[in-house]
Structure 1
Amino acid sequence: MFLFKLALKNLKRRKKRTFIMALILATAVISFLLLDSLMIGMMDLSFGNVIDFETPHIEIAQKEFFAEIDDDEEPPLEQAFIPEQSKLAELREIEGFRALTSVIDFSATFIAGRYDFPVLVRAIDEESFKAVFKHHEHLEKGEFISAGDSGVVIGKDLAEFFNLDIGDYYTLRFRDKDNYYSTLEGEIKGIISTPHPEVNQRTVLAARDQAVGRLAVAENSITQLMLRLENRDQALNKADLLAADFAETDFEVRSYRDASEMLVAIEAWGYLETYFILALILLVGAIGIVNAVVLSALERVEEIGMMKAMGLKEKEIVKVFVIEAGGIGVVGALLGSFLGGILNFFFVKYGFSLEGLWNPEALGLPLSGRLYGSWSLSSFSFIFIFVIIITVIASIIPAYWAARKDPADAIHHK
C-alpha cells in the first residue's frame, strides 16, 4: 500500500506530464474505438445489403452450380433440380426459420433498341421472394412483378444506361438448358433503386413461370433454395449444421459469408489496418512512457538514493515506477474510453450518409446508404486492458535503470 501511495503522490506532483502522456494514450484508445465501430458498421451495412438483395442467410444448390459460379462462369442451367417436398418441410422446421424462396438464376443479354448488356436474370415467385428479399421496398417506379407477368423489374442504373422507362420494351437473349438460343420479350414493369450497386446495374427480376417455359427445364425446377432466418449470427450456426446434413448428397449449403468472399477479405484487411494504426499510436505512447520514467528518475536521483539508503530494495523501487506508468495507462484508458464512448454514441445514434463519399457502383461493393457505428463491449475491454499492459511493459527497463543507481552516488548527485 505504501508503494501505491508513493506512486500516486509522484503522479500528482507531475500533473502536466501525466496529463500529456495520458492524452497520447487516450488518442490511441479513441482512434481504436471509432475505427472498430466504423469497421463493424461497414460490415453490418455491407452484409445486410448482401442478405437483403443478393444472397440471404442460407443458400442451397447443387455443388457443381456453386463451383461454376465461384469460377466466374455463367449459372449452369443443367444443375437445376426439383426440390423434395419432404426436404422443404424439414427446412421450414429449422429453429429461427422465417421464410424460404426458390429461384432460377441464368445469364442473359439485355437488349433495348440498338444496345445490349450482359445481365443476371433471377426468375422468382413473387410472394415467397418478398418474404426473403427487400427489392420491392425499393421500387422507384412502376410495379413489382407477379405470377404470369411477361414484364421485368430492372435496376435504376440499368434503366439509365438504356434510357428506359416504365412501359418500354426489352428483349432477353440467352441459351437454354439444351444450349439453344431463346428469348423473353415484354415491357419494363418496374424500376428499383437499392443500396446494392450490383443489383442496380446487372440484375433483372422476371416471373419464374414465364421463364421456365423458355429455359427447357422442368416446370418445378430451380437452381437455388434461399432461406431467411431471424438473424445473421444464427444463420452461420445453422448453415454449418445443414452443411453436415447435406454432406453425403450432391448439394451444398452456403451462408451469406461464404457467398461474399470479397467482403470477408475486406473485413480482415480492415481490422488489420485498425490494429496497425493502434500499434503506431501506442508505440508513440510507449516511447513517451519510457521518456517519462527516465525524466522522473533523473529528477528524483537523490530521492531514489534516500529510498535505497532507508532499506527499499531495487524491486520495490521498480514497482514504484511501474505503478506510476500503470497509473498513467489507467488515466489514459479511462479518458479515451469516456471520450470515445461519447463520440461513438453520436455515431451509433445518428450515423452519416455515404452519399458523395465514394461511388459504390465504381467500387462494386454493397456499401451505400447511411452508415451507423456499433457498440462492442469486448473492444472497450480489450483496449482498456491493452493500454495498461503496454504502459507497464514500457516502463520496466527504465525503471530497473533508475533503481540500480548506487545510493551514495545518488544522494550526492548534483
Structure 2
Amino acid sequence: MFSFKLGLKNLTRQKRRNVITIMVIAFAFFGYLFMDSVMGGMEEMSFSNIKNYDTGNIQVAYPEYWEDREKLPLENLIYLNQDIVDSIKNMDGILGVSPELRFKANLNNGIDETVVLGLGISPEQYNEVFATQNYIIEGSMFSPGESKAVIGVKLAELMDLKINDYITLLVRTKEDTFNTIDVEITGLLNTPNPMINNGVVFVPLDIAQQALNVDNGFSLLALKTASGDEDKIGKVLMDSFKDKDLELQAYSWRESAESIIALSTAKKGGIGTILLVVLLIGMIGIINNVILSALERTGEIGMMKALGMREWEIVFVFMVEATGIGILGGLAGCLIGFAGVGLMAKYGFGFNVMGIDISEYGIPILDKIYGTWNYPAFSFLFILSVTVALLSSIVPAYWAAHKDPVKAIYHR
C-alpha cells in the first residue's frame, strides 16, 4: 500500500514533464481515432453509393456475361418473360427488380464527342432499386418509349449541354454494325456517386434495345434487398434458378466493387500502421519518463533500499507512476477523440474545400465525408494505453531499483 501511495504521489512531481507525456499520448490516440472515423466514413459512404446508384444489392446475369461485363458486351444477354421477373420480385426480402441494358456509346453534341456508358432502363422499375431519380436537379425522368435521355451535370458541363438539347449516341449493334440513338436531354442529375455524374447516359430500355437490335434482351437484373440479407437471398435465387433450369447466377454487390473493397483493405493496413506509430510514441514517452525519474531520484532509491524496501516494491512505485500516466493519457485521448469524431460525424468534411476530387482516386464519393462512430476503438485504445504504460515501465523501473544502495546514496 505504501508503494502504491508513493507512486500516485510521484505523479504530482515533475508536473510539466508528466503533462507533456500525457498530452503526447492523448494526441497520438486522437489521431488514430479521427483517422479511423474518417476511413470508416469513406468506406460506408462508398459502399452505400455503389449499392444505391450503381449495382443494387444483388445483380443477376449469365456467368459468361459477368466475366466480360467490363467490356459491355451484347452477347450472353438475358431474355426472360415478365412472369419470371415478377416471380423474382415476389420473393421474400426482394424490394425491387430493375432490368438494365449496358452498352458502349460515343456521345456527340454536334461539335465534340466523348465515350460514355449507355444505360437502358425502365424508369418505374429502376426507381424501385436505385435512388438516382431523387437527385435530378433540373428537368425530369423520361417515360418508356420516349427518345429522351438523362445525364449527369458534370457530363453536361463537359459537353456544353443543357435541358432540351439534342445529342447523338453512336453505338455498335449486336451484329457489330454502327447505329445511332438520337435523343433529347430531359433531365440533369447530380448524385453522390461521381461515376454516375461523369459518364453515364440514361435512355429508355426499349429505345436502347431497338437501336442495338437485341430484341427484348438486357445485360442484367439489378435487385434491391432488405439490408444485410444479400447472401441469404442470393442462395435462394440460385436454388430457384436451378429449379427452373436457368443458368443465371446471382452476384453480390461486393463482386462489382472489388476495387473499392481493395481500397478498404488497404485502409485497414494504413490504420494498423497508425496504431503501431501510436504504440511506439506511447512506449517511448513512458520509458523516457521512467528513466528520467530514476536518474533524478537515484539518491532517494538508495535511501529507500537502505531503509529496507525491496526491489520489487521500488519497481512497483515506478510502475504505478507510469500506469497513472497511461490512464490519464488514455482518458485525455478518448475525450479529445470523442469531440473530434463527434464533430466529424455531425458536420463532415468536404475535400472540395481543398480543391481535391477524391473520385479521381477511385472513391465513389462526391459530397462531404462524414465520420463514423467506432465505440470499441475507444475502449481498445484506453486498455491499450494502460497495458503499454504498465509493460513499458517494467524494464527501466527494474534498472532503477537494481542500483547498489551505497552508490545510489552517494550519487553525484
What is the match of residue 224 of structure 2?
228
What is the match of residue 27 of structure 2?
27
Aligned pairs for 1:130-169 within 5 A: 130-169=127-166
The answer to whether 1:98 aligns with 2:95 is yes
Q: Which amino acid aligns with 1:117?
A: T
Question: Deviations 1:14-48 (Å, cap 9, x if unpaired)?
Answer: 33222111111001111111111111112222222
Greater shift, 163-172 or 324-333, is seen at 163-172
Question: Deviations 1:166-206 (Å, cap 9, x if unpaired)?
Answer: 22222222222233333222211212122222212210111
Does the C-alpha gap of structure 1 residues 247 and 40 become closer, same or farther in structure 2, counting only changes over 3 Å? farther
Note the C-alpha offset of 1:13: 2.8
What is the match of residue 393 of structure 1?
391
C-alpha separation between the residues in 1 aligned to 2:405 and 2:86?
83
Does the C-alpha gap of structure 1 residues 246 and 15 become closer, same or farther in structure 2, counting only changes over 3 Å? farther
TM-score, reference length from structure 2: 0.89
The answer to whether 1:333 aligns with 2:330 is yes
Does the C-alpha gap of structure 1 residues 309 and 258 become closer, same or farther in structure 2, counting only changes over 3 Å? farther
8 A contact 1:297–1:402 mirrored in 2: yes
The answer to whether 1:265 aligns with 2:262 is yes
C-alpha separation between the residues in 2 aligned to 1:399 and 1:244?
64
| Alignment size in residue pairs | 407
C-alpha separation between the residues in 2 aligned to 1:347 and 1:356?
15
Does the C-alpha gap of structure 1 residues 41 and 209 become closer, same or farther in structure 2, counting only changes over 3 Å? same
8 A contact 2:135–2:190 mirrored in 1: yes
Q: Which amino acid aligns with 2:21?
A: M
Gaps of 5+ in 1: none
8 A contact 1:354–1:368 mirrored in 2: no
8 A contact 2:58–2:234 mirrored in 1: no
Note the C-alpha offset of 1:147: 1.3
Q: Given the alignment, which residue of 361, 379, 382 partners 1:381? A: 379
C-alpha separation between the residues in 1 aligned to 2:269 and 2:36?
11
Note the C-alpha offset of 1:310: 4.6
8 A contact 1:239–1:253 mirrored in 2: no
C-alpha separation between the residues in 1 aligned to 2:395 and 2:2?
22
Greater shift, 29-38 or 55-64, is seen at 55-64
8 A contact 2:7–2:318 mirrored in 1: yes
1:9 is paired with a residue of what secondary structure?
helix
Q: Which amino acid aligns with 1:113?
A: G
Does the C-alpha gap of structure 1 residues 239 and 119 become closer, same or farther in structure 2, counting only changes over 3 Å? farther
2:162 is paired with a residue of what secondary structure?
coil
1:77 is paired with a residue of what secondary structure?
coil
What is the match of residue 47 of structure 2?
47
Does the C-alpha gap of structure 1 residues 313 and 98 become closer, same or farther in structure 2, counting only changes over 3 Å? farther
C-alpha separation between the residues in 2 aligned to 1:201 and 1:286?
48
Q: Given the alignment, which residue of 168, 171, 177 partners 1:171? A: 168
What is the match of residue 125 of structure 2?
128
Question: Deviations 1:238-264 (Å, cap 9, x if unpaired)?
Answer: 477468758977444333332122222
Note the C-alpha offset of 1:213: 2.3
Q: Which amino acid aligns with 1:19?
A: V
8 A contact 1:141–1:190 mirrored in 2: yes
C-alpha separation between the residues in 2 aligned to 1:312 and 1:100?
78
What is the match of residue 409 of structure 1?
407
2:113 is paired with a residue of what secondary structure?
strand
Note the C-alpha offset of 1:305: 2.8
C-alpha separation between the residues in 1 aligned to 2:255 and 2:311?
57
Q: Which amino acid aligns with 1:47?
A: F
Does the C-alpha gap of structure 1 residues 62 and 295 become closer, same or farther in structure 2, counting only changes over 3 Å? same
8 A contact 1:198–1:364 mirrored in 2: no
Note the C-alpha offset of 1:412: 3.7
Q: Which amino acid aligns with 2:299?
A: E
TM-score, reference length from structure 1: 0.89
C-alpha separation between the residues in 1 aligned to 2:283 and 2:238?
48
Note the C-alpha offset of 1:327: 1.4
C-alpha separation between the residues in 1 aligned to 2:287 and 2:38?
32
Q: Given the alignment, which residue of 189, 197, 205 partners 1:192? A: 189
The answer to whether 1:368 aligns with 2:385 is no
C-alpha separation between the residues in 1 aligned to 2:247 and 2:128?
27
Q: Given the alignment, which residue of 341, 350, 369 partners 1:344? A: 341
Q: Which amino acid aligns with 2:153?
A: K
C-alpha separation between the residues in 1 aligned to 2:2 and 2:234?
56
1:352 is paired with a residue of what secondary structure?
coil
The answer to whether 1:289 aligns with 2:277 is no
Q: Which amino acid aligns with 1:370?
A: K
C-alpha separation between the residues in 2 aligned to 1:177 and 1:293?
76
Identity over aligned pairs, percent: 36
Aligned pairs for 1:233-252 within 5 A: 234-235=228-229, 237-238=231-232, 241=235, 245=239, 250-252=247-249
Q: Given the alignment, which residue of 213, 233, 236 partners 1:216? A: 213
8 A contact 2:260–2:362 mirrored in 1: no
C-alpha separation between the residues in 1 aligned to 2:96 and 2:247?
23
Does the C-alpha gap of structure 1 residues 331 and 68 become closer, same or farther in structure 2, counting only changes over 3 Å? same
C-alpha separation between the residues in 1 aligned to 2:85 and 2:380?
44
Q: Which amino acid aligns with 1:393?
A: L
8 A contact 2:106–2:170 mirrored in 1: yes
Note the C-alpha offset of 1:159: 1.8
8 A contact 1:32–1:275 mirrored in 2: no
